[in-house]
Amino acid sequence: MTDINELDTPAVLIDLDRVEANLSRVQAYADSHGLKLRPHIKTHKLPRFAKRAIALGAVGITVQKLGEAEVFADAGISDIFLPYNIIGPAKLARLKALHGRIRIAVTTDSAETVEGLSRTFAGSATPLTVLVECDTGMGRCGVQSPAAAVALAEKIANSPGLAFGGLMTYPAAGQVEANAAWLAAAKQALTEAGLPPSVVSNGGTPDMWRAHEVAAATEHRPGTYIYMDRSQVARGAGTFDDCALTVLATVVSRPTEDRAIVDAGSKALTSDLLGMTGFGLILAYPEAVITGLSEEHGTIDLSACASKPKIGDKLRIIPNHACVVSNLFDRVTLISGERVVETVAVDARGRVD
Amino acid sequence: MTDINELDTPAVLIDLDRVEANLSRVQAYADSHGLKLRPHIKTHKLPRFAKRAIALGAVGITVQKLGEAEVFADAGISDIFLPYNIIGPAKLARLKALHGRIRIAVTTDSAETVEGLSRTFAGSATPLTVLVECDTGMGRCGVQSPAAAVALAEKIANSPGLAFGGLMTYPAAGQVEANAAWLAAAKQALTEAGLPPSVVSNGGTPDMWRAHEVAAATEHRPGTYIYMDRSQVARGAGTFDDCALTVLATVVSRPTEDRAIVDAGSKALTSDLLGMTGFGLILAYPEAVITGLSEEHGTIDLSACASKPKIGDKLRIIPNHACVVSNLFDRVTLISGERVVETVAVDARGRVD
């Protein structure tokens, strides 16, 4: 079998043993707390890993785009959650087509979205399940209060073609208590209004190990946990030994004693800093700092390194954010240890709508 | 013809009239100064625009990856400059195959790269043209002094299978005088050493209108000029009316009075800030600030806007950095005014190696 160091660069390597360990560890945690797991596939975009997560006990998957739902439905996944406001005739038609094939649910945070969904699904044999998205602290989408969640749930319940499915949030990292309190209050208000939520869907890898503290939640949607990355390690969600995705890069220039340039720039690692210093961790040179990226060059400061790489050396880099790396490569290479298992297409890469 | 507002989102729109104006304006500038133009295709990744630039007078194109060179060679472009250290057996074999089909030149900044090139091209019917990359202030690749440029030029000239082709730099933005002085000194030193450079290739859109001040330069390699973007406008290279690439996005949520969420996140606009505040300019709401991006959501602060968009509205956004947007979309839509002309594949998108 080929050694990974024989691969051309830049290349994305996925360590299958770490993937399996990450999937199993988080599923076991969820099982131990009676929480359902509905992993987000945005991190890997590969049906094979979604199927493996389901085989281990996940109840279905989460996607962020209709195009992703279509790829995973084509691959045989039959229970998909798309937590997004689906708007406009083209997307509503695609959603309706998916609804005819698989079990799919969406979210909303506005009357406008509910009305578009209802116009599309009125008269359907099976109503579309719609959850209310809640802004429990993230400051992105979502209704702003438990009272607003009740009002929107009532609107969904009263809309032809739709069924109220519960609550969904993508919480702010580190705000577990506030998230838990928000969802508990909303659940209670809904129950009092005669609309007890059958699903309360919480998300995110950063606080995944505290998911059981969010008592109202019935399911959790981690994404990055399958690969982990430098930002998740910084947040304590895992260790560098859990990181399954690395970018293999070649040192193409050593212009000065303390500077190296690799062939992985923002087109391989992305510009995501996520509050950190440097654009990734170089496994063999952890003291090195990736100080800058242009599209095809990564600039590395080696001044803190006792030994330094030479031109032609291949380096493995743990990126700051694994999900965005998966979206940049048409193909990734599955590995076991230092050996290449298979190079595969990233089926749902680049599904922008 | 379809109106752009009927397109599904997110979508990348390319204004053909502005493309033509940008190509013509910069070619006319280069012509007026006797400077050759060798545009970088990384911004658009579309052979049609490379051909148009050549029809207007460009001497050839610049690419950053072998995969890009292969796409453009297949499309009929016969003069390609690949300013990169090409390293490793796989890439050297691909370079040799290209060299057998078209006129191609590369750069180097090290003896190691020269030796690999010479091993590959020794015995070729036609030598490979190799330029010396110079670090004139950018702090990325490149030899560190004119004396080092001479030494490496001599090594190229003495290497079987290679021909010394001149100097290349990608200069630091705003350092025109320092760049000019560096190249002038290197040119003089090479001439004194009996190796006068036939090509001195300067690059970049930010200082493109001052390219003629770099007296030693024989050619210029602008890239972003064809589309322009928010960062180039900030640097004074053009105006917002020159920007040919916009991202069309839909407002999917209005969770608060002052917040809007659009369906263009970092998977559409990228996280590139390039020193600016906000992730793009919204044409219809120039006072709005795109304060944050997650992969599929753009968060907009509307507090400075007198009128505010509503759910379902479509917004056109000038991104901070056009080149990286081109790399994220499999297809872009060519437009004229507000009318759709054609949706085309981005042929060289995602060519990572």
Burial of B145 (0-12, 13-18, 19+ CB in 10 A): middle
Distance from CA of B329 to the nearest CA of A (A): 7
Q: Do A84 and B113 touch (CB under 8 A)?
A: no
**β-bridge pairing B79-82 and B103-108:** parallel
Q: Given CB atoms, is A343 within the 8 Å cutoff of chain B?
A: no
DSSP string, A224-257: GGGT--HHHHHTTS--GGG--EEEEEEEEEEEET
The 3-state DSSP class for residue A202 equals strand
Q: What is the reported pLDDT for B111?
A: 98
| B58 within 8 A of B37, measured Cβ to Cβ | yes
Superfamily of structural domain A16-226: Alanine racemase (3.20.20.10)
Q: Hey, what are A78's tokens?
A: 């039959």
Q: What is the reported pLDDT for B286?
A: 98
Residues of chain B with Cβ-Cβ distance to A330 below 8 Å are: 350, 352
Residues of chain A with Cβ-Cβ distance to B311 below 8 Å are: 85, 87, 110, 112-113
Say how far apart CA B128 and CA B116 lie, in whole Å: 12
In the block, residue with structure tokens 């956004």:
B317
- Amino acid code (one letter) for A202: N
Q: Running DSSP on this structure, what letter comes out for residue B127?
A: P
Say how far apart CA A148 and CA B262 lie, in whole Å: 21
Say how far apart CA B222 and CA B165 lie, in whole Å: 20
Mutation test of the interface with chain A: which of B140, B301, B320, B327, choosing the one with the most A Cβ atoms within 10 A? Answer: B140
The 3-state DSSP class for residue B306 equals coil
From B112, B139, B292, residue closest to A311, measured CB to CB: B112
Secondary structure in 3-state letters for B82-113: ECCCCCCHHHHHHHHHHHCCCEEEEEECCHHH
Give residue B26's pLDDT band: very low, low, confident or very high (50, 70, 90).
very high
Q: What is the mean pLDDT of residues B215-228?
A: 98
DSSP string, A288-324: -EEEEE-SS-EEEE-TT-SS---TT-EEEEEES-HHH
Say how far apart CA A94 and CA A162 lie, in whole Å: 16
Q: What is the reported pLDDT for A306?
A: 95
Q: What is the reported pLDDT for A343?
A: 98
CATH code of the domain occupying A4-11+237-345: 2.40.37.20
Say how far apart CA B280 and CA B266 lie, in whole Å: 11
| B49 within 8 A of B24, measured Cβ to Cβ | no
Q: Given CB atoms, is A141 within the 8 Å cutoff of chain B?
A: yes
β-pair partners for B282? B317
Q: Running DSSP on this structure, what letter comes out for residue A40?
A: B
Q: Do B140 and A299 touch (CB under 8 A)?
A: yes
Q: Predicted ipTM?
A: 0.97
| B266 within 8 A of A323, measured Cβ to Cβ | no
B1 pLDDT above the threshold of 70: no
Residues of chain B with Cβ-Cβ distance to A266 below 8 Å are: 270, 272, 324
Give me the phi and psi of B324, to 5 degrees please: -70, -25
Report in angstroms the alpha-carbon separations of A298 from A292, B131, B234: 6, 21, 24
Q: Out of 3.90.1010.10, 3.40.50.300, 3.40.50.720, 3.20.20.10, which CATH number does the structure's domain B17-229 have?
A: 3.20.20.10
Q: Given CB atoms, is B307 within the 8 Å cutoff of chain A?
A: no
Q: Hey, what are B301's tokens?
A: 């602060």
Nearest chain A alpha carbon to B295: A324
Q: Please give the helix or strand (H or E) that residue B267 lies within, else none.
A: helix B266-269
Nearest chain B alpha carbon to A293: B140
Distance from CA of A221 to the nearest CA of B (A): 16
Q: Do A255 and B143 touch (CB under 8 A)?
A: yes
B324 pLDDT above the threshold of 70: yes
Say how far apart CA B95 and CA B124 lie, in whole Å: 12
Give me the phi and psi of A259, to 5 degrees please: -120, 135
Say how far apart CA A234 and CA A280 lie, in whole Å: 11
Which residue, among B110, B135, B140, has the nearest Cα to A259 in the 3D structure? B140
Nearest chain B alpha carbon to A266: B324
CA torsion, points B139, A291, A44, B296, in degrees to nearest 10? -90
Q: What is the reported pLDDT for A31?
A: 98
Distance from CA of B346 to the nearest CA of A (A): 12
CATH 2.40.37.20 in chain A is located at: 4-11+237-345
Q: Do A88 and B272 touch (CB under 8 A)?
A: no
Here the contacts of A176-183 (C-beta below 8 Å, separation 24 or greater) are A176/A207, A176/A210, A176/A213, A176/A214, A177/A213, A178/A136, A178/A137, A179/A136, A179/A137, A179/A214, A180/A213, A180/A214, A180/A215, A180/A216, A180/A217, A182/A134, A182/A136, A182/A137, A182/A146, A183/A134, A183/A136, A183/A214, A183/A216, A183/A217
From A255, A272, A352, residue closest to B144, measured CB to CB: A255
A-B CB pairs within 8 A amount to 158
From B112, B140, B296, residue closest to A294, measured CB to CB: B140
The 3-state DSSP class for residue B265 equals coil
Q: Do B330 and A353 touch (CB under 8 A)?
A: no
Secondary structure in 3-state letters for A48-117: HHHHHHHHCCCCCEECCCHHHHHHHHHCCCCEEEECCCCCCHHHHHHHHHHHCCCEEEEEECCHHHHHHH
B80 pLDDT above the threshold of 80: yes
Each residue of B276-322: pLDDT tens digit? 999 999 999 999 999 999 999 999 999 999 999 999 999 999 999 99
Distance from CA of A350 to the nearest CA of B (A): 7
Residues of chain B with Cβ-Cβ distance to A87 below 8 Å are: 250, 252, 311-312
Say how far apart CA A327 and CA B267 lie, in whole Å: 8
DSSP string, A151-178: HHHHHHHTSTTEEEEEEE--PPTT-HHH
β-pair partners for B300? B260, B290
In chain A, which among 74-133 make CB contacts under 8 A with chain B? 84-85, 87-88, 90-91, 109-110, 112-113
Q: Do A353 and B270 touch (CB under 8 A)?
A: no
Give me the phi and psi of B198, to 5 degrees please: -75, -25
Q: Do A273 and B272 touch (CB under 8 A)?
A: no
CATH 3.20.20.10 in chain A is located at: 16-226
Nearest chain A alpha carbon to B266: A324
Distance from CA of A312 to the nearest CA of B (A): 7
DSSP string, B166-191: EEEE-PPTT-HHHHHHHHHHHHHHHH
What's the angle, vertex CA B115, arms to CA B92 and CA B37, rounded to 5?
A: 65
Q: What is the reported pLDDT for A1?
A: 63
Nearest chain A alpha carbon to B300: A140
List per-residue pLDDT tens for chain A, 353 residues long. Answer: 699 999 999 999 999 999 999 999 999 999 999 999 999 999 999 999 999 999 999 999 999 999 999 999 999 999 999 999 999 999 999 999 999 999 999 999 999 999 999 999 999 999 999 999 999 999 999 999 999 999 999 999 999 999 999 999 999 999 999 999 999 999 999 999 999 999 999 999 999 999 999 999 999 999 999 999 999 999 999 999 999 999 999 999 999 999 999 999 999 999 999 999 999 999 999 999 999 999 999 999 999 999 999 999 999 999 999 999 999 999 999 999 999 999 999 999 999 99
Q: Do B328 and A312 touch (CB under 8 A)?
A: no
Give me the phi and psi of A341, to 5 degrees please: -95, -50
